[in-house]
Structure 1
Amino acid sequence: MARAGGENFPVAPLVLPRWARAHLMAVYGFARLADDIGDEVQGDRLALLAWLDEEIDRAWTGTPEHPVMRRLAVTVRQLRLSPEPFRQLVEANRRDQLVDRYETIDALMEYCALSANPVGRLVLEVLGAATPERLRWSDSVCTGLQVAEHLQDVSEDLERGRVYLPQEDLFWFGCSEEDFRSPPFGPEARALLGFEVQRARTLLDDGSPLVGSLGGRLRLGVAAFVAGGQAALDGVEQGLRSPSRAPGRPRRRRAARRLVRVLASSGRRTGQPSAVRVGAGRP
């Protein structure tokens, strides 16, 4: 899913069903390619993203040029995946070239719907576990993970000229962007980050029923991502309690404790379709 969960609980992808890993790695390879074009490459990034849109077309109807896209073509044709989530990831990176500030929380949530939510939806589609309710929960989890990542990287993003704190929130808390340039953060900046932490926790909590609706390794894998996001927010909060520190990253022990808590609180939801079981193949 989003990077915050995987970075803060790096074993999460390893517990997903083995039969699906090649397909999931094909999806991950595409997401990395899109992000590398949007963040790392020199030259005309918008032109390269337009080329990637054309590569998506070729993955469904022709022969892609890039080896990552040729691997993806095998997956999307075998599993009959929609091209829309892949186009949304390209659009998110295109938006990164054109937009570096978000005036409102609604505008930021729209961006997250392009940059984060498609990944969770693709995981569920690959594993044959997508239902309308699960997709809604997945969107909430992925958006929460994206916001957690923004909070971890607030100073680094500012150095790159990007601000993912809504401008309306900066205004209401009496902050300027320069307040987040480097620690120590002032009381207004810490209050704003604390508010955003709670917003991200609410998103993760709202999506947490997804864990209980799944079974086997998939349940454990999704729980690990949720736990990684919660642990990331714990690290941010720990940094806020020490004015001289920047938002911190959690230790793995804290992530493990969060995993136990997520699994214990999820239980099994009744009336949900059975999840893909370990060793099963997607029809």
Structure 2
Amino acid sequence: MEAADLASGKGHRDENFPVASVLLKPEHRAPVMAFYRFARVADDISDHETLPAAEKLVQLGRMRAGLDGKAEGSAEALALRTVMADYRLDPVHAHDLLGAFERDVTVTRYEDWDGLMGYCRLSAMPVGRYVLDVHGEDRATWPASDALCAALQVINHLQDCAKDYRTLDRVYIPAETFAETGARIGDLTADRATPALRAAIVSLVGKTRILLDTSAGFAATIADRRLAAEVAIIHRLAVSLCGRLETRDPLSERVHHKSWETAFLATGAAVGSLFRRAA
């Protein structure tokens, strides 16, 4: 079995946040897209609804072998390895990301917020760090990037909380949050969120807003103007989605932005970012 046989069909335009948008310079988009294709394949493996856990780990192992340049490695990993060598990029980010997908196979529950952030350290933060390295940005930008990427991950988890549980028996809402609000994991199977589950979601949105506050000045610290504009857009979309999660039920209502809403928010954020730089 090849990794391509497990593909979900999802592409970079289907993600909740921009991935290698046209804002980025062509020479930067190429390595970012190579990383995305690698991540997309690994995600499809770990999220496959019928593939046995043992086989998922075998397939993810082939991806790690590809990063190491071994002949049995997957094509996507070997391709990324070549790109990283050409651009002199640290492979640690790709290895860390694979660790998150392996964890998705073996860990389906989190005890507390710190545990969830530990997962984000593998699943989200390496993505931002890789993109910054592609652009040659100062690594002093990493803490703000880490905060933003972790926020994006939690937002995605909250939007998909019912789907993740129903299809993969995976719950990212920490046990401590269920206990604090009186919610139960079984609430995720309902057509509508119970008041307790809504309270749990809103509680996590509050913590996510702290991450977004931490990363509010991130775009202004980025030297590359185009990347700064894209980061400003992503941050604006994330803040908007937090507001939606506080007022909408992800079990019964649409939380994702419509295309025109994304375009409206993105335009405002990009223009604001570029204007501040010109001032």
Rate the CA distance shift 1:106–1:262 in 2: closer, same or farther, 3 A: farther
Q: Choose which of 32, 35, 60 in structure 2 pairs with 1:49.
A: 60
Post-superposition offset of 1:65: 4.5
The aligned runs of 1:178-189 (5 Å cut-off) are 178-189=186-197
Change (3 A) 1:262 1:182: farther
- Secondary structure (helix, strand or coil) at the match of 2:252 reads coil
SS of the counterpart of 1:97?
helix
Q: Deviations over 1:207-245 (max 9, x none)?
A: 1211111242111111122122223223323314xx983
| Preserved contact between residue 63 and residue 76 of structure 2 (Cα < 8 Å) | no
Matched-pair contact (CA < 8 Å) for 1:8–1:255: no
Q: Could you say what the CA RMSD is over the residues aligned between the two structures, in angstroms?
A: 2.9
Compared with structure 1, are the counterparts of its residues 66 and 98 closer, same or farther at alpha carbon in structure 2 (3 Å cutoff)?
closer
2:217 counterpart (177, 194, 209): 209
Higher relative contact order structure (alpha carbons within 8 Å, sequence separation ≥ 6) = 1
1:142 aligns with 2:149: yes
Residue 106 of structure 2 corresponds to residue 95 of structure 1: no
* Mapping of residues 1-283 of structure 1, within 5 Å: 7-10=15-18, 13-40=21-48, 42-43=51-52, 44-58=55-69, 65-132=73-140, 134-159=141-166, 160-214=168-222, 215-240=224-249, 245-246=252-253, 248-259=255-266, 260=268, 264=272, 267=276
One-letter amino acid of the structure 1 residue matched with residue 62 of structure 2: W
Measured at CA, do residues 252 and 235 of structure 1 come closer, stay the same or move farther in structure 2, by a change above 3 Å?
farther
Q: 1:180 to 1:247 in 2, by over 3 A?
A: farther
Q: Which runs of 5+ in 2 are unaligned?
A: 1-10
Identity within the alignment, %: 33
Note the alpha carbon deviations across 1:152-175, whole angstroms, 9 max, x for none: 001101102010001001001011
Q: For residues 65 and 177 of structure 1, do their structure 2 counterparts lie closer, same or farther at Cα, with a shift above 3 Å needed? A: closer
- Structure 1 residues 5 and 235, CA, compared in 2 at 3 Å: closer, same or farther? farther
TM-score normalised to the size of structure 2?
0.83
Aligned length: 262
| Aligned CA distance change for structure 1 residues 63 and 196 (closer, same or farther; 3 Å) | same
In the aligned structure 1, how far is the partner of 2:73 from the partner of 2:188?
Answer: 42
How far is the alpha carbon of 1:87 from its aligned partner? Answer: 1.1
Moved over 6 A (4+): 3-6
The residue type paired with residue 199 of structure 1 is K
Q: Structure 1 residue 261: deviation in Å?
A: 5.3
